[in-house]
Every structure is written in C-alpha cells, then in structure tokens.
Amino acid sequence: MAQDPRVQSAARALARSRRLVVFTGAGVSKESGIATFREPETGLWAQYDPMELATYEAYVRRPAFVWSWYEHRFGAAAAAAPNPGHRAIAELEHLLPRVSVVTQNIDGLHQRAGSSDVIELHGNMLRFKCLSGRHTGFVLDDFAGQDEKPPRCPDCGDPLRPDVVWFGEALPADAIDRAQALSAACDVMLVVGTSGVVYPAAGLPFLAAEAGATVIDVNPERDALAAAAEIFLRGPGGEVLPQLVASVREHLTG
C-alpha cells in the first residue's frame, strides 16, 4: 500500500495541509470491536429496527427495553480500546498545524486515542441526560447505586437517557455549526468509515469539496461520499491509516 500512487497523492495533500478535518463514522471503530450500523448481516440495523431503538418515541414507549440495549452497547464501548486507525488520526496532530476530528461516533475512542479537538455530532453514549433535557452531563457513576432501569435523574427524577442524537432529533447546535464552519474552511478532509447516508453529517464532505478542499475517503467499500472524494483509498482504517500517516511523515521529513 505504501507504494500505491493513491496513498502517495493522499499523503502529499495531507503533508501540505494547513487546516485538516478528519470526518469519521462507525467503520473507524469496527476494529475496536464496535459494530457498525448498515453493513449487511453484522450492522446493528441489519439486526434491529432503528425506529424501535433510536428514536425519542421508541424510548418513551419502551424505556426499559431501549435502556437495556444501550446498556449492552455502553458496556462494549467502555471495554473497547482505540485501534491503530484512531491512533494514526491522533498522530496527525503532531505532524500538521491544525487538525480537528468531527465524528458521528458516540464511543469516545478518538479522545482516548489522544485526539484533542473532537467534535461529537451525535453525542456520547457514556454521558446521560434526563428525558426533558434540562439536566445533562451525568456519567455512569452518578447513578451506580440505582436498581431502576432506566435510572432516574439525580436532579429531577425523570428517567435518564443516553446523551445521543436519535433520528428526528436536532444535532447539538454548537457541534454542527462548528463542524460546518471547519468543513467550509479546511484544505483537506480525510473521511474514514462512514456510509455517508445520515444527514446533516453526510453533507460535510460536499461542503468541503465545494469550498475547494481535497477530500480523501478511506473505506473497504464504496460509499455515498464517492461523489465528493478526489481520492478513494480502499481498505480498513486500521490498516490504511497507519500506512498513510507513515507516508505523510516521509513527505515531511524527506
């Protein structure tokens, strides 16, 4: 792969970048053992109906059921470790002047890999808020002693929910506003592991491309962002990204 001319041209673009945005989806965490959503057979939505699990209405209808599904997932996220793809992305910060990570993921693995500027578009499943949204920022330890499922908000007694963005809910305004501004101002966008079908997040690579940025897409399969990408690197993030970053380092030192 290091000799692949597409890796070389992606590395050249990255080595010249003054403002890089790395835009990620579930695929970047797959090699950490976290399931993606839309892959046939293994994706969560191939096994579960998102309308029964990832909407406010589903939660209000069956809170204990939805909570137990998330409980399983946040257990998996807490036990998971960043993989070489997350670590390669974090390493870019030490090589390039400005690097921001915009992620759709809710597992916190970019931060644990060492990325310092991470914008979470769809929230974080290890953070909790009450159903009304008035009380936010709880962590597992805040309700560890409670047997009720879902547990109650320590401040108002409402049921707690994971602080994630379900279908039909608005993305946190500060996160999407900043992600859009960074995308319109970056010179390179590195997209990793997203099918590119969930909006408004999926609009970011098009925003970057329209503003003149070079969009590089890393994915084992063609995805819906191909139209925005100038360079497509086929393969898993945990393999492609360390090679890409090694090649960036060679361009910068060679």
Question: Should residue 102 be labelled a site residue for ligand BJW when binding is judged by CB under 6 A?
Answer: no
Comparing CB distances to ligand BJW, the nearer of 16 and 170 is 170
Q: How many positions of this chain bind ligand BJW (CB under 6 A)?
A: 36
DSSP 8-state symbol, 161: E
Query: Which of 7, 20, 26, 231: binder of ligand BJW (CB under 6 A)?
Result: 26
Catalytic residue of the set 72, 86, 110, 122: 122
Comparing CB distances to ligand BJW, the nearer of 52 and 230 is 52
Contact map string, positions 103 to 122, toward ligand BJW, x by CB under 6 A: -x-x---------------x
Query: Which of 13, 14, 20, 37: binder of ligand BJW (CB under 6 A)?
Result: 37
For the CB of residue 196, give the shortest distance to ligand BJW in the complex, in Å: 6
Question: Should residue 82 be labelled a site residue for ligand BJW when binding is judged by CB under 6 A?
Answer: no
The C-alpha atoms of residue 52 and residue 63 are separated, in whole angstroms, by 11
The C-alpha atoms of residue 253 and residue 98 are separated, in whole angstroms, by 18
The C-alpha atoms of residue 189 and residue 182 are separated, in whole angstroms, by 10
Nearest Cα neighbor of 127 from 99, 162, 97, 156 is 162
Q: Let me know if 122 is a catalytic residue.
A: yes
Question: Should residue 164 be labelled a site residue for ligand BJW when binding is judged by CB under 6 A?
Answer: yes
Applying CB under 6 A, the span of 8-16, 90-98, 135-143, 191-199 interacting with ligand BJW comes to 191-199
- Long-range pairs for 107-111: beta carbons < 8 A, 24 or more residues apart: 107/29, 107/32, 107/34, 107/77, 107/80, 108/77, 109/28, 109/29, 109/32, 109/34, 109/77, 109/80, 109/81, 109/82, 109/83, 110/24, 110/82, 110/86
The C-alpha atoms of residue 176 and residue 171 are separated, in whole angstroms, by 6
User: Could you tell me if 241 and 85 are in contact, meaning their C-beta atoms sit under 8 angstroms apart?
Assistant: yes
- The set of catalytic residues is 122
Give the footprint of ligand BJW on this chain (CB under 6 A): 25-28, 30-31, 36-39, 43, 54, 104, 106, 122, 164-165, 167-170, 192-195, 197-200, 219-221, 223, 236-238
